[in-house]
A = this chain, B = another copy of it.
C-alpha cells in the first residue's frame, strides 16, 4: 500500500513503553476527530484522549475546554476468559510504527502469559482523511495463536470513563453525559456536553474477515452505563490466525451512528484504507519537502508537516487548530496566534483551501471579537488571546500556583498582539493566493474592525505627540504590563495602514493613517528596545545548554522575578524582524539577532523556528541550523518536556516557515512579487518541495549550486 515505507517516513518505537509523549506522537487524527496513541487495551496509567474539533465545554472547569470524549479504539483479548493484560505478561516483542505516508499507525506485539500461552497481535489504525469520510476510523486486527488450544474472545469497546485532566485531582472533569447502546452489530454511545449541549455520537462495529485453522463461535454484546462492547469468540489452536476489521464512527450529532457503522462495515477495511491512503498521497504530493543529505532533519521536518496535515479539516470553517493540535488537552484545545503566524504559512502555500477554511474561522468568530472589544470599552474587534468556539476571550483570569495560591493571569487582558497577527495572516494568504473574493468578503471586514479597535486602544501622549500602547504583554511573556512593546506597536501600525488601504471610508482611513504614523516604536542606536525600559533591566547572557541543546538558566537568575532581567522567553523583536523585514536594514537585523539570541531562553516552542529563520537572513548560519533542529525535533525529542500534552503545532509550522522563508529564502513582496534566495547548511545536498503561488503549482529544487523554480501549471 505504501511504496515510500523507508525510514524517512516512519516514526517508530521499540519496547512496551507507555509514555504520554508517545500517545501524542502516535495519535491518529484527521482534523475532524483525533484519538491519542494509547493502547487498544487502555491501561490506567495511560492518558486517553478522544477529541472532536470544535466540541468545547466549560461546566465546572476554569475555562471552556476541548472535551475529552469516550475512547472508541478499545480492544481487549481474553484467552479462556482471562484478560491478556500485557503488564502481567512477558512482552516478548512490542513495536509501534507510524507511517506518515499512509497516515496509519501499526502496533505489533508478541506476548506470553503466565501460563505460557503466546499470542501475536497486530493492529493497524487510521482516521480517514478521505473527503466525506472524516467521521470514519478503521482498524485491521490480526491475532495469531502461537502455541495453545482454547477460546479467544476479542472485545471491541467504547469506554466513557474518561476525564479531562485525568491526572490532576484538583481539576479533573468529565464534560458529557453518555447514553450507551449495544447489539450484535455495533456498540455505541451518544454524548451531550454538560454546558454547551454539543452532541457527539460514537460507534464501533466489527467484521470477522478471516479465521484460519480456527472457528468463529459467535458474537454477543454487553452494554453498561459507561462502557459498551461487542465480543467475538473464537475456537483456536496452535497456528490459528484471526483477522478482524473494526469500524469506528465519530460524529457531531445527537442520533445513533447505526447507519454509518453499517455503511463502514459494508465498505470494509480495504476500501476505507485505500481511500484514505489515496487522500494522503494527494496531500503529500502537495505538501512534502525532502532534504537530501540530512536524514534526521528530513524525517523530523516531515513529522512537523504530518502533524499539521492531521490537525486541520478543510471542510469545517467553524474550527481552527489549537496550540497542541487535536493531539492532547494542552492549552484546553484553544486557538492562539500560533495558528495564524506559525501554522498558516504552510497551509497558505501547500494547501490553500485549508488556509482559507482556517482563516474563515476568524470571520465566523468576528462577533465574539467585537464583544471582547466592547467589554473592554473599545470599538471594533479584539480577537481573544485564547479562542474556542465563539471568539469570546477564553483565557482564564485566575490560575493556581503549585501551592494552590490564586494567581492572576493577564494574557487574556493584555496580550493583544493576536489581533494584528490575524490580519497579517490574512494579508499573507491574499498575497500568496490572490484570492480576491476572500479578501473582499471575509478578510476586509476583519481588517477594518481590527483597525477600529486599535484606533480606540491607542493612547495619545501630547508631550511627545505620539501614540502609545501601554500595559501590554508582547510575544515575550517573561515581561508583563510593559509599555510600547516594539512588536505590538509595529504590527498595530502596519495593521492600521493596511486597513486604510482597504477601506472605502476615506475619512476614517485618513484618521487611521495619521494615528498610525505617530505610533511610538522604541529604538536605540540600531537596536530595537523590546519595550520601554527593557535595556535598563539586569543583563545576563545564556551560555549553557542541556542535552537537547536547549538553554539552561544563567547562574544567579531568580526565576521567580524574571521581569527584572533582559532574559527573553521567546522571539519577540526577532519575530517582528521576520514579519516586517522590509523596515529593517541587514545591519540592524544582524545586530538585533545577536543581541536577543544571546538572551533568549526558548521557553516557548514558538521561539527556535524564528531564530532559525532570521539566522539564515542575518548570516548566523550555525545558530540557524541549531534552531532549526530544535524546532523540528520539538516533539520527536520532547525537548520542551511537555509533548505528552499535545503536539507543538506552532513549532511544527515554524519549522516549515524556517525552511520556506529562511533556508529557501522565499519572499513575496507587497506587490505580489516572489523571489527565492536559498542558503543550505553544510550537510544538505538538495531540497525539493512543491507549493502553490497564485493558483499555480510550483516546484522548487535547491542545491548549493542554485535553485530551479518550475511552474507546473
Are B43 and A174 within 8 A (Cβ)?
no
Cα(A45)–Cα(B227), bound, Å: 17
10 shortest interchain CB distances as A-B pairs: A44-B44, A155-B169, A153-B169, A174-B224, A81-B168, A83-B167, A78-B169, A169-B231, A45-B85, A151-B402
Are B45 and A80 within 8 A (Cβ)?
no
Cα(A82)–Cα(B222), bound, Å: 34
Are B43 and A226 within 8 A (Cβ)?
no
Are B87 and A172 within 8 A (Cβ)?
no
Q: Shortest CB–CB separation between residue A16 and chain B, in angstroms?
A: 12
Chain A stretch 267-287: residues in CB contact (< 8 A) with chain B: none
Are B231 and A170 within 8 A (Cβ)?
yes
Residues of chain B within 8 A of A78, CB atoms compared: 167, 169
- Please encode chain A, from 386 to 408, with 1 for each CB lying within 8 Å of some chain B CB and 0 for all others: 00000000000000001110000
Are A170 and B153 within 8 A (Cβ)?
yes
Q: Shortest CB–CB separation between residue A150 and chain B, in angstroms?
A: 7
Cα(A87)–Cα(B155), bound, Å: 25
User: Which residue of B44, B217, B222, B404 is within 8 Å of A151 (Cβ)?
Assistant: B404
Residues of chain B within 8 A of A173, CB atoms compared: 222
Residues of chain B within 8 A of A227, CB atoms compared: 161
Are B229 and A226 within 8 A (Cβ)?
no
9 residue pairs bridging A and B, Cβ less than 8 Å apart: A81-B402, A151-B403, A151-B404, A153-B169, A161-B161, A169-B229, A170-B220, A172-B224, A177-B225
Cα(A155)–Cα(B242), bound, Å: 43
Q: Shortest CB–CB separation between residue A89 and chain B, in angstroms?
A: 11
Residues of chain B within 8 A of A402, CB atoms compared: 80-81, 150-151
Tell yes or no: A133 within 8 A of B by CB.
Answer: no
Q: Shortest CB–CB separation between residue A625 and chain B, in angstroms?
A: 32
Chain A stretch 207-260: residues in CB contact (< 8 A) with chain B: 217-218, 220, 222, 224-227, 229, 231, 233, 235
Tell yes or no: A524 within 8 A of B by CB.
Answer: no
Cα(A172)–Cα(B81), bound, Å: 11
Residue of B nearest to A227 (CB): B161
Residues of chain B within 8 A of A225, CB atoms compared: 174, 177, 225-226
If A81-B167, A167-B83, A235-B403 touch, whether A222 touches B153 (CB-CB below 8 Å) is no
Cα(A43)–Cα(B231), bound, Å: 24
Tell yes or no: A76 within 8 A of B by CB.
Answer: yes
Residues of chain B within 8 A of A169, CB atoms compared: 76, 78, 81, 83, 153, 155, 222, 229, 231
Residue of B nearest to A77 (CB): B169
Residues of chain B within 8 A of A163, CB atoms compared: 224
Tell yes or no: A88 within 8 A of B by CB.
Answer: yes
Q: Shortest CB–CB separation between residue A221 and chain B, in angstroms?
A: 10
Interface range on chain A (Cβ under 8 Å from partner): 35 or more
If A170-B81, A170-B220 touch, whether A45 touches B87 (CB-CB below 8 Å) is yes
Chain A stretch 106-164: residues in CB contact (< 8 A) with chain B: 150-151, 153, 155, 161, 163
Q: Shortest CB–CB separation between residue A621 and chain B, in angstroms?
A: 38
Residues of chain B within 8 A of A222, CB atoms compared: 169, 172-173
Cα(A163)–Cα(B83), bound, Å: 15
- Please encode chain A, from 426 to 441, with 1 for each CB lying within 8 Å of some chain B CB and 0 for all others: 0000000000000000
Point out which of A82, A87, A218 has the most chain B C-beta atoms below 10 A from its C-beta: A87
Cα(A404)–Cα(B233), bound, Å: 8
Chain A stretch 155-208: residues in CB contact (< 8 A) with chain B: 155, 161, 163, 167-170, 172-174, 177
Residue of B nearest to A235 (CB): B403
Are B217 and A403 within 8 A (Cβ)?
yes
Residues of chain B within 8 A of A151, CB atoms compared: 402-404
Cα(A243)–Cα(B609), bound, Å: 50
Chain A stretch 554-602: residues in CB contact (< 8 A) with chain B: none
Please give 10 more A-B residue pairs, beta carbons under 8 A apart, in addition to A81-B167, A163-B224, A217-B404: A45-B85, A80-B402, A81-B168, A81-B170, A153-B170, A161-B226, A169-B222, A172-B222, A172-B224, A218-B404
Cα(A87)–Cα(B218), bound, Å: 36
Residues of chain B within 8 A of A150, CB atoms compared: 402
Residues of chain B within 8 A of A153, CB atoms compared: 169-170
Residues of chain B within 8 A of A404, CB atoms compared: 151, 217-218, 233
Residue of B nearest to A401 (CB): B151
Cα(A494)–Cα(B170), bound, Å: 67
Cα(A173)–Cα(B83), bound, Å: 16
Residue of B nearest to A150 (CB): B402
Cα(A395)–Cα(B362), bound, Å: 66
Point out which of A153, A170, A177 has the most chain B C-beta atoms below 10 A from its C-beta: A170
Residue of B nearest to A223 (CB): B60
Q: Shortest CB–CB separation between residue A113 and chain B, in angstroms?
A: 13
Cα(A685)–Cα(B45), bound, Å: 53
Residues of chain B within 8 A of A172, CB atoms compared: 222, 224
Residues of chain B within 8 A of A87, CB atoms compared: 45, 87
Residues of chain B within 8 A of A170, CB atoms compared: 81, 153, 220, 231, 233
Residues of chain B within 8 A of A403, CB atoms compared: 151, 217, 235
Residues of chain B within 8 A of A174, CB atoms compared: 224-225
Residue of B nearest to A405 (CB): B217
Cα(A80)–Cα(B167), bound, Å: 11
